[in-house]
Amino acid sequence: WTEGSVADAENSMAELAALAETAGSEVLEAVFQRRQSPDPATFIGRGKVEAIREIVQATGADTVICDGELAPSQLRNLEDRIKVKVVDRTALILDIFAQHAKSKEGQAQVELAQLQYMKQRLRGWGGNLSRQAGGRAAGGDGIGGRGPGETKIETDRRRINTKIAKLRRELKEMRGTRDVKRQSRRRNHIPSVAIAGYTNAGKSSLLNRLTDAGVLVEDALFATLDPTTRRTTTADGRIYTMSDTVGFVRHLPHGLVEAFRSTLEEVADSDLLLHVVDGSHPDPEGQIAAVREVLAEINATKVPEIIVINKADAADPMVISRLRAREPHSVVVSAKTGDGIEEALRTIESELPRPQVEFDVLLPYERGDLVNR
């Protein structure tokens, strides 16, 4: 169930399947349902629950993944009826981010998001309990509502809160280090280029091509979680940095956006944004829109943007023409074959801000040095 059209639902499900494969699952079957709104008890309708139970039995599937965020009670009800593990989209995305986080900061960011997700779910459950307690109180027995269950929730919540506070402190420190680096770049007028884009669009591959950085490329969504910054130079010798950023997905769990805020803020603070789009994807426009939503959320809409239509080798030329017409400020490349990379570099170089005072860049050298050159 999604709010949009049937095509939206199909794209979203195709992405969910790709995400599940990234997490190491084998996808056996996709089941759709058209509904006005999710069933409060079981998310999908009763008939569909029964149909899925039969598919699970027939195929031997061990997990059902729902394309949405399930309330804890919906998850329990579904597991009771279907008899296998049930996972929602958010838990799946969190799982993949956890598997792929490389740096200490990335790991702390994912853990923070996971704890926030868990805490919300505790609150949901606690909420139900208090409503029950209220009901009983109306019947004259307020104490009955405060069973051991609620005490356990309170303890869990306190533990989670303590851990969240600790992670926030650690992240703040790491962020301090990151800010110092960023400020030093600013002071030296070193322009920065951020590569953003939908997950799997080819950001790491493009960074490799553009800078020969040798970043790990995996045929998996989220191969890139931690920003990787490389120094590089323009043809006329100007130094600039180029950074890879986290992959964006549709319905990025809110906790993740918050947890990755500092990483994402680097995008907002850069001088130029390379927005990479997978030209061979069935819905590149949808991906552009999803990325721009996240960019708006992190106030990065003011950064000059070049749309880089990637995977030209695998894309339908009609789709590329359509995209170029929609996005006049775009270049077409293939990070795989290297086609268009030269043109992309020229476009980047022409868009890069020139340092206002050339001498500032050279200040670390002795003035005499300059004269001698």
List Cβ neighbours of 17 (8 Å cut-off, separation of 6 or more).
Answer: 27, 30
- Cβ closest to ligand GDP, residue 205 vs residue 270: 205
With binding defined as CB under 6 A, does residue 202 bind ligand GDP?
Answer: yes
Tell me which residue has tokens 């869990």.
156
Selected from 313, 349, 352, 362, the binder of ligand GDP by CB under 6 A is: 313
List Cβ neighbours of 345 (8 Å cut-off, separation of 6 or more).
Answer: 210, 235
With binding defined as CB under 6 A, does residue 218 bind ligand GDP?
Answer: yes
Selected from 11, 90, 310, 330, the binder of ligand GDP by CB under 6 A is: 310
Q: Output the CA angle 277-107-23, nearest 5 degrees.
A: 60
Asked if 34 and 5 count as a contact pair (C-beta separation under 8 A), the reply is no
With binding defined as CB under 6 A, does residue 253 bind ligand GDP?
Answer: no
- Among the residue ranges 63-71, 98-106, 136-144, 306-314, the one whose residues contact ligand GDP (CB under 6 A): 306-314
Closest chain position to ligand GDP (CB): 202
**Distance (Å, whole) CA 61 – CA 31:** 13
Distances (CA, A) of 93 to 15, 39, 105, 149, 247: 11, 23, 18, 29, 11
To ligand GDP, the closest distance from the beta carbon of 275 in angstroms equals 11
Classify residue 34 as exposed, middle or buried by CB count within 10 Å of its CB (0-12, 13-18, 19+).
exposed
Selected from 74, 114, 224, 287, the binder of ligand GDP by CB under 6 A is: 224
Mapped onto helix, strand or coil, the DSSP state of residue 247 is coil
- Among the residue ranges 135-143, 179-187, 218-226, 300-308, the one whose residues contact ligand GDP (CB under 6 A): 218-226
To ligand GDP, the closest distance from the beta carbon of 342 in angstroms equals 15
- For the record, the structure tokens of 290 come out as 């999803």
Asked if 242 and 230 count as a contact pair (C-beta separation under 8 A), the reply is yes
To ligand GDP, the closest distance from the beta carbon of 178 in angstroms equals 20
With binding defined as CB under 6 A, does residue 287 bind ligand GDP?
Answer: no
With binding defined as CB under 6 A, does residue 199 bind ligand GDP?
Answer: yes
Read out DSSP for 184-234? HHHHTT--EEEEEEBTTSSHHHHHHHHH-------SSTTS--S-EEEEEE-
- Among the residue ranges 24-32, 74-82, 202-210, 262-270, the one whose residues contact ligand GDP (CB under 6 A): 202-210
To ligand GDP, the closest distance from the beta carbon of 24 in angstroms equals 16
Count, residues near ligand GDP per rule CB under 6 A: 21
Selected from 336, 341, 349, 361, the binder of ligand GDP by CB under 6 A is: 336
With binding defined as CB under 6 A, does residue 200 bind ligand GDP?
Answer: yes
Selected from 16, 44, 82, 201, the binder of ligand GDP by CB under 6 A is: 201
**Distance (Å, whole) CA 18 – CA 179:** 35
- Cβ closest to ligand GDP, residue 66 vs residue 306: 306
To ligand GDP, the closest distance from the beta carbon of 243 in angstroms equals 12
Q: Which residues bind ligand GDP (CB under 6 A)?
A: 197, 199-205, 217-219, 223-224, 247, 310-311, 313-314, 334-336
